[in-house]
């Protein structure tokens, strides 16, 4: 999947994606422990940060995790985490000039 990101954010993107990968790993641990509060909090943070960097898919999955954690429903969280793993492994970033973004 290709994602267009403003060239202004080019230096920040590798660190952001590394942070998201770590978050996904942590979320898997929280899911194993059924730590609904940490799942909700971190899902909420992903929901808030993804779009700001141009990763709307991350925002959508963060919302899915947050909502499912409120309902203490493991299955949608597991699905979202699997989709995030696939996304992070295959996302292709194209940096564009700010005026084009």
Query: Can you give the pTM of this predicted structure?
Result: 0.93
Do the strands 92-96 and 2-6 form a parallel or antiparallel pair, or are they unpaired?
parallel
pLDDT tens digits along 59-91: 999 999 999 999 999 999 999 999 999 999 999
CATH of domain 2-100: 1.20.120.160
Domain range annotation of the chain = 2-100
pLDDT tens digits along 7-60: 999 999 999 999 999 999 999 999 999 999 999 999 999 999 999 999 999 999
Q: How far is CA 46 from CA 11, 27, 40, 97, 98, in A?
A: 19, 11, 10, 25, 23
């Amino acid at each position: 999947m290709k994602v267009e990101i403003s060239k202004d954010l080019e230096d920040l993107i590798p660190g952001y994606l590394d942070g998201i990968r770590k978050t996904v790993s942590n979320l898997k641990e929280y899911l194993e422990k059924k730590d609904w509060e940490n799942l909700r909090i971190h899902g909420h943070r992903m929901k808030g940060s993804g779009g700001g960097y141009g990763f709307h898919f991350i925002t959508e999955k963060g919302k899915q995790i947050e909502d499912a954690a409120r309902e203490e429903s493991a299955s949608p969280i597991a699905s979202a985490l699997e989709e995030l793993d696939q996304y992070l492994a295959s996302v292709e970033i194209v940096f564009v000039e700010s005026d084009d973004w």
